[in-house]
Structure 1
Amino acid sequence: MDFDGSADTEFVKFWNSVLEPKFTKYRHILQGGLSRHSAAVLPNLPIKKGMSVLDVGCGWGDMTLQVAEVVGPDGRVVGIDCVEAFLQEARKDAAAKGLSNVQFSRGDAEVALPENEFDYVVARFGTMFFTNPVAALRRMRKALKPRGQITHIVWRRREDNPAWQKAKDITLRHLPPPGADADTCGPGPFSMGNQETSDLMMKSAGYEDFTFTRVDEKIMVGTTPEECIAFALAIGPRGEVFREAGSELAEAKRPEIESEMRTFFESQERDGHGIWAPTSSWVISARNPS
């Protein structure tokens, strides 16, 4: 299945060149944390055997494979992501599980999707990064058959997500915010955190019957305080502040930043696996009109 609508955008190039190595390094944190939110939701979704399902921004494909097991051999699941390295790992995992009803394709949902093809569309923590969210959500809706459904999971407001926001607050006490021309992963993880704003986006994209369900989960942000700090300074809004400040200034401020971060992470819940901090998401479900 071809999802390639044009040459890579600068956004896609940035993900593949700058962000992919960082995400891959911390896959054990990211995938484990994100999966706690989808695990709270997936068993209750009306996805049935024989359905065709599209997973947008599938990453390493762990949720895609779970959906493939639900729809069974008579169904099919397509996972798309703009990062080829993620998809290579997803294909390996699918083969290891012996799943023949799943396909992983490189593509950008903002650029091209097939139309009128799927019974259900899912997305976990990907739609917040759309540079033009209404247009992309509309494209996802058009990928659905009439009366098909969508469920996408997004982070709630930054103040509801100390696991991500607290480290950024600390970093910003020592470094300037990124400029308007900074290289970024998109609008940011909290771009759909406001329910009223997301409600308007869904309406503008043409959906109906949409619902918002809140999920609160603690996720592991590192196995040790040292890994928590390294992870925070590599990925997400806090990593963006550190990267865009420039190496000279960032390294000069590193000792103070790391000291404050250590205090925060050591104050969080800890068990034999690692350090856990609170996160909160919206599970947004809707339907394509007939």
Structure 2
Amino acid sequence: MDPRLQRRVQRYGWDKAAAHYETYWRRQLEPVQSQLLRQTSAQRGESVLDVACGTGLVTFPVAEQVGSTGSVLGVDLSEGMIAGARTIAEKRGIANARFERMDAELLALEDATFDAALCALGLMYVPDPRRALAEMHRVVKPGGRVVASVWGRRVNCGWAEIFSIVDARVSSEVCPMFFQLGNGTALQDEFAAVGFTHITTERISAQLRYATADDACGAAFDGGPVALAASRFDDIVRAQVREEYLASIDAYRDGTGFAIPGEFVLVSGHRA
């Protein structure tokens, strides 16, 4: 895919998803987000960058960790996500976190500015993940740390049929290599390629729990990566894709809801 087109798809797709993201993904992503926060190990007084911050699921816990003497900058390509994060920060009275719309591959930030940088489940959507990692490497101070998480292997993510179901009706144009960074040592290799040292890798399995079929479908079609494509469906097509998606996750029924398997890869490294 043309990188410019991919960036537009991501920007406007996540604008569509922004209003639903917290509802359908906050609790489901907690296991990997918590481990990412532990790996980042933000300390009081530090300056931290959160790339592809979304609505701040990770940004706000980091802001609490660094305290009033520290600061967090959350950046995202989606203006909808940034607007949502700013609203949450204002409602909660969080003064040490700010948010800016910014491309992960071209961070408008000075070199060696941050003590740490992180990217929670954002690199799958970037046309050139290595370039984004190189930018994070550039903006952290010598000795600074970077932590990133991505979805794992497709075979271990029970919701993955959503892409083929949607693409059979309308091209989702979501990153065709969505699961590539979750295979083998792919993400670890990207960290090494841009010069990180002391690299560690962890693979995490989790269950994405949804209380009802409506919640499972809301996460898949309204709050996730195919939101832009799904917004083009009429009522008939939407009913068809809903039925097919529910059939694809039927094996994971848990009472009236679902416990859908998911896998994540988490990699950390230091700037020498």
TM-score by length of 2: 0.84
Q: Matched residue of 1:141: which SS? A: helix
Call closer, same or farther: CA 1:117–1:268 in 2, change over 3 Å: same
Return the letter of the residue paired with 2:212. T
2:186 matched to 1:210? no
Counterpart of 2:70? 75
Give the secondary-structure state (helix, strand or coil) at the position aligned to 1:165: coil
Q: Contact between 2:201 and 2:267, CA under 8 Å: does it hold in 1?
A: yes
Distance change in 2, residues 1:69/1:27 (3 Å)? closer
In the TM superposition, what is the alpha-carbon distance from 1:30 to its structure 2 partner? 2.4
Q: Which residue of 16, 20, 25 corresponds with 1:21?
A: 16
Q: Which amino acid aligns with 1:175?
A: A
Distance 1:39 1:233 in 2: 25
- RMSD of aligned alpha carbons: 3.1
CA distance in 1, matches of 2:222, 2:67: 38
List gaps (5 residues or longer) in structure 2. none
Is this contact kept in 2: 1:12–1:83, CA < 8 A? no
User: Any conservation in 1 of the 2:24–2:215 contact (CA below 8 Å)?
Assistant: no
1:51 aligned onto 2:40? no
* 1:214 Cα deviation from its structure 2 partner: 1.4
- Check whether the contact 2:40–2:145 (CA below 8 A) recurs between aligned residues: no
Distance 2:227 2:108 in 1: 31
Which residue number corresponds to residue 157 of structure 2?
161
Report the CA distance shift for 1:49/1:279 in structure 2 as closer, same or farther (over 3 A).
same
Distance in 1, matches of 2:262 and 2:251, equals: 16
Work out whether residues 152 and 265 of structure 2, in 8 Å CA contact, stay in contact via their aligned partners in 1.
Answer: yes
Unaligned stretches of 5+ residues in structure 1: 1-7
Deviation of 1:234 (Å): 5.1
Give how far 1:129 is off. 1.4
Equivalent residues of 1:149, 1:286 under 8 A apart: yes
Asked whether 1:129 is paired with 2:125, we answer yes
Pairwise CA distance, 1:268? 1.9
- Listed as ranges, the matches of 1:265-276 within 5 Å are 265-270=249-254, 274-276=257-259
What is the deviation of 1:237? 7.0
1:284 paired with 2:272, answer no
Larger radius of gyration: 1
Mapping for residues 34-45 of structure 1, pairs under 5 Å: 34-45=29-40
Aligned equivalent of 1:225: 213
Residue 203 of structure 1 and its aligned partner are, at CA, apart by 1.6
Give the partner amino acid of 1:282.
Answer: V
Matches within 5 A, 1:240-259: 255=240, 258-259=242-243
Q: Secondary structure at the match of 1:99?
A: coil
Q: Provide the C-alpha distance between the structure 2 equivalents of 1:51 and 1:271, rounded to a whole number of angstroms.
A: 45
Distance 1:191 1:234 in 2: 24
1:219 and 1:276 in contact (8 A); partners too: yes
Normalised TM-score (structure 1) = 0.79
Q: Does 1:175 align with 2:168?
A: yes
- Paired AA for residue 286 in structure 1: G
CA displacement, residues 178-232 of structure 1 (integer Å, 9 cap, x when unaligned) = 7xxx562435431311233223211211111111011111113x44224434543
* Change in CA separation of 1:150 and 1:18 when aligned onto 2, cut-off 3 Å: closer
2-side partners of 1:233 and 1:97: how far apart? 29
Aligned-partner SS, 1:112: coil
